[in-house]
Structures are given as structure tokens and as C-alpha cells.
């Protein structure tokens, strides 16, 4: 009996020793698979800036699966999400990073910001490899002000209270001996986006003029001029009712000679339910919305249905589904 117990204890000790050796065993170089299928990544630049890891084409063979997604913000910038899925040796590790880019940021600035957060996320994985001894670490804070205030304690107040204003003017002119075309447009918008509310206003005005000469066949030419005008005033508001519900409305008044709309007024309202919380929009998005609207149309010319003006009612159910996961 004693001999049997000693045999069992010996087997247990050998097992524990083997487990300890496996736990202490580290990999030489981290293998990383980057998934940028829903956004753009400069892989050549990434490989140049992060050369302490091996980049894989096979997701299964990688030690870390990095999923990069982004979505536009109301201010005109982008919100990025980086999810680091540990695999193989790191199968129980998962990290998530978020950052926003400025609306006026260049492609190079967005690229540098993405590289910065990739390095931050990969650091904890590289630290557990033999390549860690060759890593270069820089913990210097970026200076953003002359007084060098501590960013962790200072508070930045937005003087515009989250409002973003845009003004645009576009023009075009082309002509030859028998043809001339010109266009001029102006747009002004104001948008405000917070976690609880999204609202905005927009004004658009555009004029197009085309003139050309046609030969009548009797030696004379006829000049034909076509003018099109477009005007639009729009306002919208979306209010969050929590992680799953939101409601909103949209009001539009417009005029378009090309579309035969002398005056068109639209009022639409609706509700939306998100199966997944809105905060998970970068990885999974499933919404069901219901809208109702009323339209009042006044026409320049009588329509095919013998209408000079009419009031229309409508409603719709819409679903949106998107998954972007490992």
C-alpha cells in the first residue's frame, strides 16, 4: 500500500514539474494578425514602425488577433476601436482601446495615432516574449501647451459647447463655341453631438445654368437655355433614451426646378430599438426602427397623375444588421 502511495506521489511531482516548465516557457517573437477589413490600415507603415513582432496572414497561427474598426462622429472625426484577442499562449487575455481623431486631422496624423495605440496594446503581449529585451520604451508625455499643465488634472472647456459649424462654396464653369455650363452652390451646417443628443441644421442653395446652340437645318441656329435651382433647409434631432432606445424627428423644406418641386415640406418622426447596446456599435449593430412621415408637395407643372399639389402620408420599418468580430 505504501509503495502504491509513493508511486502516485511521484507521478504528481513529475506532472507539476512539467507544468511549471511549460508555464516558464516563453515564445521568441509575438505573432500578430491584423484585421482591418472594415477600415483602412497602412500595413507597410505598420510593419516598418512595429518590427519587434511577426505579422501573420493566417489568423489561427497568430498569438494576437487585432481587430480595428472605426465609425464617423458627428463632429466630422472618427472613433477608433482596437480589440486585442489573445490566442494560443495568450488565450485568456483580451484588451480593448478607444480613441478619437480630430475632424481636421490629416491621413498621416490618423495613421500615427493608430500606430500609437497599436503599440500600447501590444506592449503587454511583447513583454511576455523573449523579444522583450530588444523593445524600446518611451514614457514621455506629449507636450500640448506652453505652461505644460498636467493633462490628468486640467479640464478643457469647449467654447463652442460641442457645436461644429461648416461653410462651403462650390463653383464650376465650362464653355466652348456652342456650349456653356455654369454652377454655383452654397451650404451651411451646424451640428452638435453628445452621448445623449444629436441635432443639426443645414441650409443649401444651388444654381445651374446650361446654354447651347442647335442648328435648325435652315442655316440658322437656335439658342436653348436651361436653368435649375435647388434650395433646402433641414433640421434633425435624435435623443437617446438609454443603451437600447432612441427617438427623433426630421423636418425639411425644399424647392427644386429639376424635380418639379415648387415647394416641398416633409416632417418625419420615429423610434429605434437597438438589440445590442449602442456602445458596441463598432463590433455588432442590430437595430429596428419605425418611422412615420407627412409630405406636402406643390408642383411647378401638372404631374402625370393630374396633380398640382398633394399631401402624402407614409410609414416604414427598417432594420440594420452589422457584425465585425473575430
Q: What is the CATH number of the domain that holds 119?
A: 3.30.160
**pLDDT recorded at residue 203:** 97
Which helix (H) or strand (E) segment is 231 a member of? strand 221-240
* 171 and 319 co-located in one domain: yes
Q: List the grid coordinates of 326.
A: 473575430
Q: Residue 239 half-sphere exposure, CB side, CA atoms within 13 Å?
A: 6
- Over residues 183-197, mean pLDDT: 90
- Over residues 167-185, mean pLDDT: 92
How large a percentage of the chain has pLDDT more than 70? 84
* 41 and 81 co-located in one domain: yes
**pLDDT recorded at residue 158:** 67
* 114 and 207 co-located in one domain: no
Asked, for residue 187, whether it belongs to a domain, the answer is: yes
Q: Residue 41 half-sphere exposure, CB side, CA atoms within 13 Å?
A: 22
pLDDT over 90 (residue 245): yes
* 117 and 56 co-located in one domain: yes
- The per-residue pLDDT of the chain, averaged, comes to 83
pLDDT over 70 (residue 19): no
Q: How far is CA 32 from CA 48, 69, 72, 228, 326, in A?
A: 14, 17, 27, 55, 13
How large a percentage of the chain has pLDDT more than 90? 46
**pLDDT recorded at residue 326:** 63
* 277 and 318 co-located in one domain: yes
Give 68 or 104, the one with higher predicted confidence: 68
* 179 and 318 co-located in one domain: yes
pLDDT in tens, 284-312: 778 999 999 999 999 999 999 899 999 99
Residue pair 272/249 in contact by the 8 Å Cβ criterion? no
Per mean pLDDT, which range of 19-23, 60-64, 80-84, 261-265 is the poorest? Answer: 19-23
Which range marks the domain in which residue 128 is found? 27-134
Per mean pLDDT, which range of 42-56, 100-114, 133-147 is the poorest? Answer: 133-147
* 228 and 287 co-located in one domain: yes
* 74 and 170 co-located in one domain: no
Q: How far is CA 141 from CA 49, 108, 174, 260, in A?
A: 19, 20, 53, 59
Give 148 or 259, the one with higher predicted confidence: 259
Rounded Cα–Cα distance for residues 15 and 159 (Å): 65
pLDDT over 50 (residue 11): no
Residue pair 208/182 in contact by the 8 Å Cβ criterion? yes
pLDDT over 80 (residue 281): no
**pLDDT recorded at residue 325:** 63
Cα 151 to chain centroid, rounded = 27
What total of structural domains would you count in the chain? Answer: 2
Asked, for residue 120, whether it belongs to a domain, the answer is: yes
* 52 and 172 co-located in one domain: no
Which helix (H) or strand (E) segment is 120 a member of? helix 107-126
Give 10 or 136, the one with higher predicted confidence: 136
Q: What are all long-range contacts of 165-171, with beta carbons under 8 Å and residues at least 24 apart? A: 165/189, 165/190, 166/76, 166/190
pLDDT over 50 (residue 218): yes
**pLDDT recorded at residue 137:** 76
With b meaning 16 or more CB within 10 Å and e meaning fewer, what string describes 276-293?
eebeebbbebebebebeb
Asked, for residue 7, whether it belongs to a domain, the answer is: no
**pLDDT recorded at residue 150:** 47
**pLDDT recorded at residue 38:** 81
* 184 and 39 co-located in one domain: no
pTM for the model stands at: 0.61
In sign, the C-alpha dihedral spanning 106, 325, 279, 166 is: positive
Asked, for residue 85, whether it belongs to a domain, the answer is: yes
pLDDT over 90 (residue 41): no
Amino acid at each position: 500500500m505504501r509503495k502504491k502511495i509513493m508511486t502516485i506521489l511521484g507521478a504528481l511531482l513529475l506532472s507539476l514539474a512539467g507544468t511549471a516548465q511549460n508555464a516558464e516557457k516563453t515564445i521568441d517573437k509575438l505573432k500578430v494578425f491584423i484585421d482591418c477589413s472594415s477600415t483602412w490600415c497602412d500595413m507597410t507603415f505598420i510593419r516598418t514602425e512595429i518590427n519587434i513582432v511577426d505579422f501573420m496572414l493566417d489568423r489561427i497561427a497568430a498569438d494576437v488577433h487585432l481587430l480595428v474598426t472605426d465609425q464617423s462622429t458627428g463632429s466630422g472625426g472618427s472613433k477608433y476601436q482596437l480589440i486585442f484577442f489573445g490566442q494560443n499562449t495568450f488565450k485568456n487575455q483580451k484588451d480593448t482601446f478607444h480613441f478619437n481623431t480630430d475632424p481636421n486631422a490629416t491621413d498621416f496624423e490618423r495613421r500615427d495615432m493608430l500606430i500609437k495605440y497599436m503599440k500600447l496594446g501590444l506592449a503587454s503581449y511583447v513583454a511576455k516574449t523573449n523579444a522583450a529585451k530588444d523593445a524600446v520604451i518611451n514614457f514621455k508625455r506629449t507636450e500640448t501647451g506652453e505652461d505644460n499643465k498636467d493633462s490628468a488634472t486640467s479640464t478643457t472647456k469647449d467654447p463652442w459647447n460641442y457645436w461644429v459649424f461648416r461653410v462651403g462654396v462650390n463653383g464650376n464653369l465650362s464653355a466652348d463655341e456652342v456650349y456653356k455650363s455654369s454652377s454655383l452652390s452654397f451650404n451651411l451646417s451646424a451640428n452638435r453631438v453628445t452621448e445623449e443628443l444629436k441635432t443639426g441644421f443645414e441650409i443649401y442653395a444651388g444654381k445651374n445654368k446650361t446654354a447651347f446652340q442647335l442648328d435648325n437645318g435652315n442655316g440658322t441656329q437656335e439658342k436653348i437655355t436651361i436653368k435649375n435651382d435647388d434650395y433646402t433647409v433641414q433640421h434633425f434631432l435624435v435623443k437617446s433614451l438609454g443603451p437600447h432606445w432612441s427617438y427623433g424627428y426630421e423636418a425639411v423644406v425644399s424647392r427644386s426646378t429639376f424635380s418639379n418641386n415648387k415647394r416641398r415640406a416633409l416632417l418625419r418622426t420615429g423610434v429605434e430599438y437597438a438589440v445590442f447596446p449602442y456602445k458596441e456599435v463598432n463590433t455588432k449593430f442590430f437595430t429596428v426602427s419605425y418611422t412615420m412621415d407627412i409630405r406636402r408637395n406643390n408642383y411647378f407643372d401638372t404631374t402625370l397623375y393630374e396633380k398640382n399639389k398633394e399631401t402624402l402620408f407614409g410609414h416604414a420599418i427598417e432594420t440594420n444588421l452589422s457584425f465585425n468580430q473575430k
